[in-house]
Chains A and B, each alone.
Chain A
Amino acid sequence: MSGENAGEEKSIVAIIVSKNSLDMAYPPLIIAQTAAAMGMEAHLFFTFWGLYLIKKGGAEKAKLPGFMKFFTGMMKKKMAKVGIKPLHEMIRDAKAMGVKFHACQMTMEVLGIKREDLIDEVDDVMGAASFLEIAEKAKVTLFI
């Protein structure tokens, strides 16, 4: 992939994904995918409701929040019309581009989600300290 100068360290983007509604699921994936396209190293840390996005079948079930959930189908149609892929496909594409998927250990315990319940794209399961180790080196950190 076209990246930065050889020897120069890749800049890192670290994003905490804390929600699983459709509107909150797209931005981290779009930013991570774009970062990878720009030769940056992108990490997504899925915690609390965000973890449901990387649970098998979870991305397919994502809906708009609150009463807006009734308009989810309409929103999905609008997005498909302008060529935006469904979430689960975007996850697959992001993974293929090298985006790293980290699952929050604590959330898994709380919600009773096991490693085998998570999609294959997940790289590893980690806690806050491991994420901070990555985030500390990142030039861009976002909480979504």
Chain B
Amino acid sequence: MSEIKPTKKLDVRGLMCPMPVVKLSSAINEVKVGEVIEVLATDPGSLTDIPAWARKTGNEVLKIDKEGNVIKFYVKRLK
């Protein structure tokens, strides 16, 4: 896979369910279709919730990285 270049960063560190998904659902509208948002989260629930949100809304989680207690998601807007 070629290098992922996010056009927007969303910091939801310190926020719990449902805020990471709620914030992501509005942030996704601030990028164009095909662009990627980098999401920084600390809520362990977001590990399953953000992929579930993406499946339901038809967007794609390209990659998930964990650095310490911070979870990094690369989410591509598909529509």
Which residues of chain A have a CB within 8 Å of any CB of chain B? 1-5, 30-31, 33-34, 36-40, 82-84, 93, 97
Contact = CB atoms under 8 A, between A and B. Distances in A.
A84 B16 contact: yes
A38 B25 contact: yes
Nearest to B59: A2
Given A2-B79, A83-B14, A83-B16, A34 B22 contact: yes
Given A38-B56, A82-B14, A2 B22 contact: no
25 contacts: A1-B29, A2-B25, A2-B59, A2-B77, A3-B57, A4-B58, A30-B17, A31-B18, A33-B18, A33-B22, A34-B21, A34-B22, A34-B49, A36-B25, A37-B18, A37-B21, A37-B24, A37-B25, A38-B21, A38-B56, A38-B57, A39-B56, A40-B56, A82-B15, A83-B16
Dominant SS at the B interface? Answer: helix
Contacts, number: 56
CB-CB nearest 3 A-B residue pairs: A37-B25, A34-B18, A38-B56
Residue of A5, A37, A84 most packed against chain B (CB within 10 A): A37
Contacts of B24: 37
